[in-house]
């Protein structure tokens, strides 16, 4: 079976969890999906995953679940390898009135969400995303500067992609006392008949819209 990653020709020899196992407390991993990955595209245990999880938790306020996951999954890792993760997160941090502003490394987010999208498509379509799709992401919480332009852009994106989801994959255990950790909706035409939109939500707060645009050959 071929690796899940777009454009990769290697055989999938390992299991990749989508989203990563590291995002979930030990007792909530039973519903995670897996895809076949080659060694290069298996991101399990990568620093990048933890970086993205930490940032998502930090930007999901107020969410008790995000706080809980941060304390359970991220906090114990902060001091490993000479504070590697702590230093990564606080790189470029600036003191502002009322707190500290942590800049976000968008390249790390893009890498993470592109891999996640490849996994979701592979799982729902049972095929690798074809090479003529370009993947880009909008991070609603990270980019929201409160401006009218931003609100307009988000409204336009929501309207454009407001069609009914083709497939809804539901992750995490429904729990009346807590928000779920991750939900996702996939919008698009089956069998790669057109562009695909994937809407991710973490803790019911942190929203990411991934646009998988099908480029038409001339
Ligand atoms: Zn691969």
Query: What is the per-residue DSSP string for the chain?
Result: -B-SSTT--SB--EEEEES-GGGS-GGG-TT-EEEEE-STT--TT-HHHHHHHHHHHHTS-S-HHHHHHIIIIIGGGTTHHHHHHHHHHHTT-EEETTEEEPP--HHHHHHHHHHHHHHHHHHHHSSPPPTTEEEEEEEHHHH----HHHHHHHHHHHHHT-SPPSEEEE-S---TTS--SEEEEEEE-GGG-S-EEEEEEETTTEEEEEEEEEPPP-
**pLDDT at residue 174 greater than cutoff 90:** no
**pLDDT at residue 190 greater than cutoff 90:** no
Q: Indicate the domain borders of the chain.
A: 14-214
pLDDT tens by residue, 149-167: 777 777 777 776 666 666 6
- Output the CA 30–ligand 1 centroid distance in Å: 24
Structure confidence at residue 44 (pLDDT): 64
**pLDDT at residue 88 greater than cutoff 80:** yes
- Output the CA 16–ligand 1 centroid distance in Å: 11
Choice between 3 and 195, residue whose per-residue pLDDT is larger = 3
pLDDT tens by residue, 12-56: 999 998 888 888 888 877 767 889 999 999 876 678 899 999 999
- Output the CA 14–ligand 1 centroid distance in Å: 10
**What is the pLDDT averaged over residues 74-97?**
85
- Output the CA 11–ligand 1 centroid distance in Å: 7
Q: What is the pTM of this model?
A: 0.87
- Output the CA 42–ligand 1 centroid distance in Å: 8
């Amino acid at each position: 079976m071929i690796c899940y990653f777009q454009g990769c020709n290697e055989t999938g020899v390992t299991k990749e969890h989508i989203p990563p196992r590291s995002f979930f407390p030990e007792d909530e991993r039973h519903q995670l999906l897996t895809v076949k990955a080659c060694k290069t595209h298996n991101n399990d245990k990568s620093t990048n995953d933890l970086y993205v999880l930490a940032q998502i938790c930090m930007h999901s306020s107020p969410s008790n679940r995000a706080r809980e996951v941060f304390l359970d999954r991220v906090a114990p890792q902060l001091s490993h390898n000479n504070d590697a993760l702590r230093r990564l997160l606080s790189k470029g941090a600036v003191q502002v009135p009322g707190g500290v502003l942590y800049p976000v490394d968008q390249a790390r987010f893009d890498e993470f969400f592109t891999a996640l999208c490849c996994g979701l498509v592979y799982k729902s379509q049972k095929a690798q995303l074809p090479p003529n799709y370009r993947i880009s992401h909008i991070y609603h919480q990270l980019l929201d500067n409160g401006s009218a332009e931003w609100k307009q852009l988000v409204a336009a994106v929501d309207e454009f992609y407001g069609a009914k989801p083709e497939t809804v994959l539901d992750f995490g255990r429904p729990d009346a006392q807590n928000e779920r950790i991750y939900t996702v909706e996939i919008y698009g035409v089956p069998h790669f008949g057109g562009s695909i939109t994937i809407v991710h939500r973490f803790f019911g707060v942190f929203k990411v819209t991934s646009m998988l645009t099908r480029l038409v050959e001339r």
